[in-house]
């Protein structure tokens, strides 16, 4: 059973892992906190970009020898394969970590997963710790793996004039969390505007995204997935979103509701001719947060 110190460390690891959103794909955004035998945080880290060190490697590097006999708290099962970086289960063993606390098991773990190998080596492993909370960050990546297409969100604004694409600072803030943005003209671009992404990833993506310029649509999603895209944001009005809704591949809507008056008769929205007035049919509210005069609503399908 995880201790309260480990639960707190897991929540810290989950929160930190969100800093990798938009830049780690096709790898998952993972966070890790290392505790020494007395339960003190001696290192933490998150995966920043594909090809770079994994979260565990960052956290262990920060901890140094203080990790010996300690606990690694990590949001996803440590990897067990030699990719562009050495397997994390070996790094954990080399650091003489005694216990590993994991939130979610990696569905892509090749052959034998990292958990099994760690246990064989005598490490105490606890899995499924705060799994639901870890899905707040890893959920879209996991869903993309399952479906073989990017997790797709659509952001729009509803105000006294009806529905319009989210723009300005609201869009800038949102798009950084996504691998790709599908624009009003159907073109595919980076989620993170140029200059903020590590250079190799950006180049990689530009070259491959060129193939999808002007080709976006439900039929292009599998190709985007193959190009490494795990999350995508629809940036446009109802006309852009309609085919994705019809194909049942829209997973989430983010609505900025800007209705100032306490009493009003709203205009007919152009989302569908027959409604809905806020979110598409079949979507359920997940969060409503007030930002000044705007309420940001998140809703998911199902």
Contact set with Zn ion (CB under 5 A)? 54, 79, 88
Catalytic residue among 6, 56, 77, 190: 56
Least Å distance between CB 238 and Zn ion? 41
- Whichever of 99 and 157 has its CB closer to Zn ion, that residue is 99
Least Å distance between CB 224 and Zn ion? 24
Tokens encoding 204: 């990689």
The residue count for the chain: 302
Least Å distance between CB 16 and Zn ion? 16
At residue 99, φ and ψ (nearest 5 deg) are -145, 140
Residue 241 DSSP symbol = H
Least Å distance between CB 89 and Zn ion? 8
Find out whether 106 and 114 touch, Cβ atoms under 8 Å: yes
Least Å distance between CB 133 and Zn ion? 21
Our CA dihedral for 187, 295, 30, 226, rounded to 10 degrees, sits at -20
Is 252 a residue of the active site?
no
- Whichever of 54 and 298 has its CB closer to Zn ion, that residue is 54
At residue 134, φ and ψ (nearest 5 deg) are -65, -30
Cα–Cα distances in angstroms (integers) from residue 125 to residues 1, 73, 76, 162, in the given order = 10, 10, 12, 52
- Whichever of 11 and 54 has its CB closer to Zn ion, that residue is 54
- Looking up tokens 């099962």 gives 77
What is the DSSP annotation of 111-161? SS-HHHHHHHTT-EEE--TTHHHHHHHHHHHHHHHHHTS-EEEEEEEEETT
- Whichever of 88 and 101 has its CB closer to Zn ion, that residue is 88
Cα 91 to Cα 34: distance, rounded to the nearest angstrom: 13
- Give catalytic residues, as residue numbers: 56
């Amino acid at each position: 059973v995880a201790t309260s110190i480990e639960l707190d460390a897991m929540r810290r690891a989950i929160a930190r892992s969100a800093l990798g959103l938009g830049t780690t794909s096709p790898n998952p955004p993972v966070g890790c906190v290392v505790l020494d035998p007395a339960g003190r945080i001696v290192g933490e880290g998150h995966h920043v970009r594909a090809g770079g060190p994994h979260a565990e490697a960052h956290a262990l590097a920060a901890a140094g020898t203080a990790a010996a006999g300690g606990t690694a708290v990590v949001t996803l099962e440590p990897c067990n394969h030699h990719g562009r970086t050495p397997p994390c289960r070996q790094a954990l063993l080399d650091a003489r970590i005694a216990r590993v606390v994991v939130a979610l098991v990696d569905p892509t773990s090749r052959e034998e997963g990292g958990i099994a190998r760690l246990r064989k080596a005598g490490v105490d492993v606890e899995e499924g710790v705060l799994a639901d909370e870890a899905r707040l960050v890893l959920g879209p990546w996991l869903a993309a793996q399952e479906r073989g297409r990017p997790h797709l969100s659509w952001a729009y604004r509803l105000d006294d004039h009806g529905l319009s694409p989210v723009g300005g600072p609201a869009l800038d803030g949102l798009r950084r969390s996504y691998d790709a943005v599908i624009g009003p003209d159907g073109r595919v671009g980076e989620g993170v505007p140029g200059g903020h992404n590590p250079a190799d990833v950006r180049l990689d993506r530009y070259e491959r995204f060129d193939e999808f310029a002007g080709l976006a649509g439900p039929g292009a999603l599998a190709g985007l997935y193959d190009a490494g895209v795990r999350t995508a944001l629809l940036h446009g009005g109802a006309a852009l979103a309609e085919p994705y809704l019809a194909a049942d591949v829209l997973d989430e809507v983010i609505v900025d509701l800007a209705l100032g008056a306490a009493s009003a008769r709203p205009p007919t929205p152009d989302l569908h001719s027959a409604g809905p007035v806020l979110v598409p049919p079949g979507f359920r509210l997940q969060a409503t947060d007030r930002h000044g005069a705007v309420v940001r609503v998140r809703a998911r399908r199902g």
